[in-house]
Structure 1
Amino acid sequence: MTQAQAPVAVGTELPSTREPRGREHDTGRGPGRPFLHIVLVLIMVLWAVPAVGLFVASFRTAEATNASGWWTALVPPWDFTFANYDYVLNRAGFWDSFLNSLFITIPATVLVVMVSAFAAYAFAWMSFPGRNVIFVVVVGLLVVPLQVTLIPVLTLFRDASIGGYELAGTILAVWLAHTGYGLPFAVYLLRNYIGGLPRELFEAAEIDGAGHATIFFRLVLPMSVPVLASLVIFQFLWVWNDLLVALVYLGPVPRNHPLSVTLANLTTNFGGNWQFVTAAAFVSMIIPIIVFFMLQRYFVRGITGGAVKG
């Protein structure tokens, strides 16, 4: 009997070359993991320092802020005041501007998400002449600076009219402007995500007789919730914090001004009353923070999916 045919005693275990079960899940738990966590925490703290300083300054008077740094207010004796918030919240027209911001931001966000979702599905799964060329042109608009479009678009709105009323200076003009400015990025993000969905699902739906409308509403939309939520966060923040577009297309009419314009007018021509802006900044942050925390669980998944798929 040769050495290769030597018998093996009953009950002995043969040496295995397989990895122990669960070994593949231990990757990344090396000695560098705690160091990575420490670095991330330090970056987070550094990133939060300006916001914390702004928050503390919002409860201090201008004299106290000019006399010492904001960190000195964290130790006794504390000298905080709500005068800044009282001035901002009770200022004439503040709540009207708050409602105007909601009235501008919500439709502008819905329009961008709705139009870009239809366009992204068409670019990803429908065949029509010039599909790739049109997609490249739409995405290429990302490199066009917003500022170079202000005068041509404003002239177009001034010459256009609906029912005898000039379009410029109305909230409808701001809706259309934000929709146009937001569509290139939205189409790019959604098209990459929707284009990465399993082709087998669409083929099976077509075999069952489903048309494009059925596929879009029954398959694409439910499977694209993460990227749609990410897009809602981006678009909502952009429109809510916008100042330039609102100033250009709404004009000097105060009753239509959003919150960003009203808060910018808190300061004087020489930079006075800046302490009120610190309180106003945190008042304006409430709604975007609520929107972000409502949709944050989809945020990373939607962004990474839309960035690498397609």
Structure 2
Amino acid sequence: MEGMAGQKSHLTWAVHISVALLVALWLFPTVGLLVSSFRTAEQISNSGWWSAFSAQKGQLPAIRISGDERQEDGLYVIDGNLFGTAETTLSAWGTSSREPEAYEPDTEVELKDGWVLGVASSGDFRLSAPQSFEGERLPRVFATATTPPEFTLENYGNVLFGTTAGAGVGQAFLNTLTVSIPATVIPILVAAFAAYALAWMEFPGRALLIAAVVALLVVPLQLALIPLLQLHNTIGIGKGYLGVWLAHTGFGLPLAIYLLRNYMVGLPKDIIENARVDGASDFQIFTKIVLPLSFPALASFAIFQFLWTWNDLLVALVFLGTDDDRLVLTARLVNLMGSRGGQWEILATSAFVSIVVPLVVFFAMQKYLVRGLLAGSVK
């Protein structure tokens, strides 16, 4: 019979498909970013990340003939390999950008002044002429070739430790940790004490304080940025890590107090009353009973607060400034987009570095997320 208790809904399949689609929408860009972070600039520009594990055929950047000349049978000769040590198979080549696939491999072509250039499928070339090449501008070769999959750790070396291509990203990573960890721990410590007081201690004005906390949840933080910065400058802390820690603490406290208070007020009342009968003080009840039982709510807020502070740009720019030695990852990525828009391997690696820590935090604590979010919602 339809509608009986315990019978599965006919829409179960639709729920499963929707969840699978949501997971795919989140997973594909993340996997693509990870794969791209290990690819070279040429491969990223020539093909998508989904084809990274197969051989790729495409036009390579123009390669200038170079090498030491030698004499052979009355001719001056320069030979070598276009691709160096790379295992690449040439399928077509040319000497003009207008006709990059004009010639087949293993053919010789006569150029200016009796110059003869031949390129093999392996990339080996031989340029010969009746006169010396000294002082001459050697030709370029436009090659269409099949290259095997190639992955490298050089991108991460440049991003984290380099001084040119990924300048400052490693320092920005440390700056973001310096901001995020205290800005997550401090609000939790303060909010835990406040939530216990609002949940289990009787004092005048408690209801008004709870209403004020709920009201602060809807106040946009943008309204308080400039007045708060002016206050910091007045009291002498100015732009620095202490200022950004206090700012994140102030902006995160309403949600933290609301979330933890809802969880603590739902704890069994008999446990609290029995502890008081046994002579336990409020501080002992809080530290030995309430705090351990409230770990799911604490972990839930820690996830949200850490993700917010880690991905924050606006608050960090306002309270830390734009000095290179104090830029966080989000600000550094914005600078990289403006100055290195063509170096996709650097951008992909930097972007993945910026999301790997939040991913680790989320997956490590996700089992507490739903429990903490539903705290106090049902009885």
Q: Considering the TM-score relative to the shorter chain, is it more than 0.5?
A: yes
**Counterpart residue number, 1:21:** none
Matched, 1:36 2:111: no
1 CA distance for matches of 2:54 and 2:48? Answer: 12
Pairwise CA distance, 1:277? 2.1
1:274 Cα deviation from its structure 2 partner: 4.9
Which residue identity does 1:89 align to in structure 2?
L
Q: Which runs of 5+ in 1 are unaligned?
A: 1-23, 162-166
> Structure 2: which 5+ runs fail to align?
57-148
How does 1:79-94 map onto structure 2 within 5 Å? 79-92=150-163, 93-94=168-169
Matched residue pairs, number? 280
Write the deviation string for residues 249-271 of structure 1: whole angstroms up to 9, x where unpaired. 11133222333323332222584
Percent identity (aligned): 50
Q: 1:146 matched to which residue of 2? A: 221
Cα distance in 2 for residues equivalent to 1:147 and 1:63:
42
User: For residues 186 and 309 of structure 1, what CA distance do their matches in structure 2 show?
Assistant: 19
1:278 shift after superposition: 1.6
Match of 1:202 in 2: 272
Task: Give, in whole Å, the separation in 2 of the partners of 1:298 and 1:46.
Answer: 23
Cα distance 1:89–1:28, how it changes in 2: closer, same or farther (>3 A)?
farther
Q: Match of 2:61?
A: none
Greater strand share, 1 or 2?
A: 2
Closer, same or farther: CA 132–34 of 1 in aligned 2, 3 Å: same
Q: Which residue of 1 aligns with 2:209?
A: 134
The whole-number CA distance in structure 2 between the counterparts of 1:32 and 1:187 is 38
- 1:48 and 2:27 correspond: yes
TM-score by length of 1: 0.80
In the alignment, is the contact (CA less than 8 A) between 2:159 and 2:170 conserved in 1? no
Q: RMSD value over aligned CA atoms?
A: 2.5
User: Of the two, which has the highest radius of gyration?
Assistant: 2
CA distances 1:9-49 after superposition (whole Å, capped 9, x unpaired): xxxxxxxxxxxxxxx9x925566545533432232112322
C-alpha change, 1:147 and 1:30, in structure 2 (3 Å) is: closer
Do the aligned residues in 1 keep the contact of 2:169 with 2:329 (CA within 8 Å)? yes
Equivalent-residue separation in structure 1 for 2:43 and 2:255 (angstroms): 44
Paired residue for 1:191, among 261, 267, 292? 261
Query: Quick one: distance in 2 between partners of 1:159 and 1:269?
Result: 36
Counterparts of residues 231-250 of structure 1 (less than 5 Å): 231-250=301-320
| Larger relative contact order (Cα-Cα within 8 Å, sequence gap ≥ 6) | 1
Cα distance change of structure 1 residues 74 and 39 upon mapping to structure 2, 3 Å threshold: farther
Letter in 2 for 1:87: N
Following TM superposition, by how much is the alpha carbon of 1:207 offset from its aligned partner in structure 2, in angstroms? 1.4
Give the secondary-structure state (helix, strand or coil) at the position aligned to 2:330: helix
Moved more, 258-267 or 196-205: 258-267
Task: Give runs of ≥4 in structure 1 deviating > 6 Å.
Answer: none
Instruction: Give the structure-2-normalised TM-score.
Output: 0.67
